[in-house]
Chain A
């Protein structure tokens, strides 16, 4: 029997060591910074940080990276509210009402509510993570190769089906990612595949090089093409102006809780990601509201709900990552890749083999959330000043950090060429509307997909029925197939409607 209370005490002992506290602080600080600065998102930030976290222990490294992830959710709202420019994609919806509030002379309460809603929802989601993760992990220990294949398959189909405008292009992107993961020595037979006698490829295509190329370099190229406009806000932000009024609290109380629940439970699903959660929370709030027509004109619920949801989703996304080893989106996929490089295999066994790692991370998230409120409330003026740093100064900095970091991971120039190659690929993919998150996810999960698929088929002597006859894998497989074909439903529905109308 595990004991959550004992585990939490151990977790806090790990998280409050000076090193972990310091890096938790650095993580959330960088996260806020990345969230505030448009043109660099959390996934890019985490990808660039992987090499820097190499010298640390795995626990410290993941504490830092998780800090960046949820820290960015806080920071992103600042620019959305003040200058109508989202710092990252999960804060796009916050613009709708946040910027209107700022325009009406109430930027303070909007920012304050964003930070406090983030805090409440973030803490809620960590409590849920604390309570839900251990039983889920205990349950998942019994999973065999068929279950793992179904889970990874579901992760890929969900990411692709939910992640973008064109699911077909997302599927193509994930199939390409799986193909890239086949490069290198085959783990079962020891045959080298697609290496073209290049020694550097025996170990597969470097994950860090690919992630940084697809996210960081491609993002830079995109920003060069369309320079980010620099807008300054002249809003006066005193510390006391930041606190929402009693009426504001009354208005957004329900919104925060609904946002927290939605964000957490949708955030658990692989593929959902924080952006989708914030959109759903806003839509639900609008539907439930007594005055839906006021949404978009600066109502505080419209800030509280999505900000709560995207923070809760950051916590929710840690559930499948820690218990099953399946990331929920681009940012957690990059974290998973980083953990594997640190020699940890995220999955149910993590709770028994590395309890200090899991509980240290969870405890650090409680601490990080408190740090973030402190960072965001009194210091918000400083973050606003930071927006004056021009992108042309940041661009060389981001590019050289990325390049140096990649070299630093393996002392190998070849990885830099991988970054170069995937930078070009990523830019073209963005231009042509192919999402890059499924590709990175597929590369990270590729080995697991292939191993579990081939092991399952070996067990079943080649029969695919093994995925359907085992109860757990059967259920997951059905969900995966539904999500795989879900893009077809609206098309078929329209056809059916059209035929009915014609008859």
Chain B
């Protein structure tokens, strides 16, 4: 117990002990992983092959750019472009399906959030 026990533990009390516990757990995990025999599974990387890794990176980069641009491009155009990107770059779909999904999804979301739930979605400098 810290010296301030009479006043009750302060704001650093829990984070400090959590860090101590975390360090103990991490050590146990590390030591037990070190000591145990390697299994068949350990010889394979846990990360996916190149194609899947590229697809995952594309989705996350796309999502990052989407969030970054949402107040610049406005909700409608940004969401539309994001879905087109997901369908074209990640899923490699044909244009007709891509455009259909992009238009329908954007319209559905805009209608639901802007009109049904009355939330002001970000708009661009031209007001949409």
Contact = CB atoms under 8 A, between A and B. Distances in A.
A271 interface: no
Interface residues of B, number: 59
Given A52-B117, A423-B60, A462-B6, A172 B109 contact: no
Contacts, number: 142
Query: Which 3 A/B pairs are nearest by Cβ-Cβ distance?
Result: A458-B8, A462-B5, A186-B11
A458 B66 CA distance: 48
Dominant secondary structure at the B interface: helix
A210 to B, nearest CB: 15
A196 to B, nearest CB: 14
Contacts of B83: 396, 400
B53 to A, nearest CB: 8
B124 to A, nearest CB: 14
Nearest to A417: B67
26 contacts: A52-B117, A175-B25, A176-B22, A179-B19, A189-B10, A191-B11, A193-B12, A220-B59, A225-B55, A395-B86, A396-B82, A396-B87, A396-B105, A400-B82, A400-B105, A400-B106, A403-B67, A404-B109, A407-B70, A416-B67, A417-B67, A424-B60, A454-B13, A461-B5, A462-B5, A463-B1
A413 B109 contact: no
B107 to A, nearest CB: 12
B22 A408 contact: no
Nearest to B75: A404
Q: How large is the interface on A (under 10, 10 to 19, 20 to 34, 35 or more residues)?
A: 35 or more
A279 to B, nearest CB: 22
Interface of A: 52, 54-55, 168-169, 171-172, 175-176, 178-179, 182, 186, 188-189, 191, 193-194, 217, 220-221, 224-226, 392-393, 395-397, 399-401, 403-405, 407-408, 411, 413, 416-417, 420, 423-424, 427, 431-432, 449-450, 453-455, 457-458, 461-463
A169 B26 CA distance: 9
B113 A457 contact: no
Given A221-B60, A395-B91, 9 more contacts: A172-B29, A179-B18, A182-B15, A225-B52, A225-B56, A226-B48, A392-B91, A461-B6, A463-B1
